[in-house]
Amino acid sequence: MKKRILAVAVIISLTLLCGCSKTNDVQKETKNGQAGTSAEINTTSNSTDSTTSAEEEATSQEETTSQEKTDYLAMTQPVIENGHYVFNLYSLSKEAIDTFGEDFAEFYVKVVDAYMSGETKIPCTNQDYADMLCIILPREMPAFEADTTVNNITDYDGEYITLHYANTVDEHKKLVEDIKNATNSYLESVSPDDSEQLKAEKVYNAMSKVMSYDYEGMNTRENIEAYYGMLNHTGVCVTFSNIYMFLLKQVGIECTLVSAMSGPDMEGHVFNLVKINGQNYFCDTTFEISETKGNGFIYFGETAENRINDGICKDWMSVGLYNVKDYTEIDIAKKPITIIPLS
């Protein structure tokens, strides 16, 4: 776990330094009651009946526990209303679930509920959860990044994690409502019946065409969190890549961050790796915004070779949020994707 935290810390440091845009050249982010009713065991029954009854009760408890896990997992999955994807407050990436296990979904839902109610103490007996929560929160939910802090060194006592809020509960709800409205507007054109590629393309286009690069933010590092980008339509590479990742999660597309060095001055840059129809492709909304004002797909569905030709340094390209790997360890598509024209 310490190695994982160190790897993620390196990515965060690079993220904070990123300042890439793209112009003509590359330039300088249950409770159903107890599981089954307790079977009353007749004291006169034989040992076989007692064993059978105990086994049935144990099976019932296991099934109930499994159902609880399934329910929490279901709460983190994309939500469809009236034939459209809509914002899910509890959305959680497959990468988080794969990394921390299915039980993490229950913990995460409870963290979200605590945030919405203003609770500062979160019960937690899992060291991995405590170690990584300060990384997980800003990646999974933009409101957390804009409002919540947790220090994985000082804010865990072995039983509880302490969250620190900058705002009141009412302000939390306002932040979430802002994100909800923005998310639903970006997803408006995406249909559950669309193919994975078409979903990824529509989200890429919907967000890119309304964004502009924030050169002042590149220098000040102020208000470059995904929350501000979603509302103000400005940001830097880390802003755009986090927004794209968050929106794709809302429609069930696997997406993660790629941290790299770019250009002759080797500046930090962040973009995305997206899984479409079982193939991994690079997508760079920042370069798209800078070069085509978000109206093209030049940097959508790229290969590693494409990225290197774009000016990305092949010797420093790390992929992942919680289990960071070098891009050479990832099975990346060998051919760029064929764009589906949007009607």
Structure tokens at 167: 């705002």
Within 9-159, strands assigned E span: 79-81, 84-86, 121-123, 148-149
Q: Is 246 in contact with 226 (CB distance < 8 Å)? A: yes
Mean pLDDT, the chain cut into blocks of 10 residues (343 residues total)? 47 51 42 36 43 57 52 95 96 96 95 94 94 92 84 85 92 94 97 97 97 92 92 96 98 98 92 98 97 94 97 95 96 98 88
pLDDT of residue 6: 45
Q: Computed over its alpha carbons, how large is the radius of gyration of the chain?
A: 22
Burial grade of 108 (CB within 10 A; 0-12, 13-18, 19 or more)? buried
Position of tokens 């990394």?
99
pLDDT of residue 170: 94
- Predicted TM-score (pTM) of the model is 0.83
pLDDT of residue 309: 96
Long-range contacts: 214-219, Cβ < 8 Å, 24+?
214/239, 215/21, 218/19, 218/21, 219/19
pLDDT of residue 343: 76
pLDDT of residue 40: 34
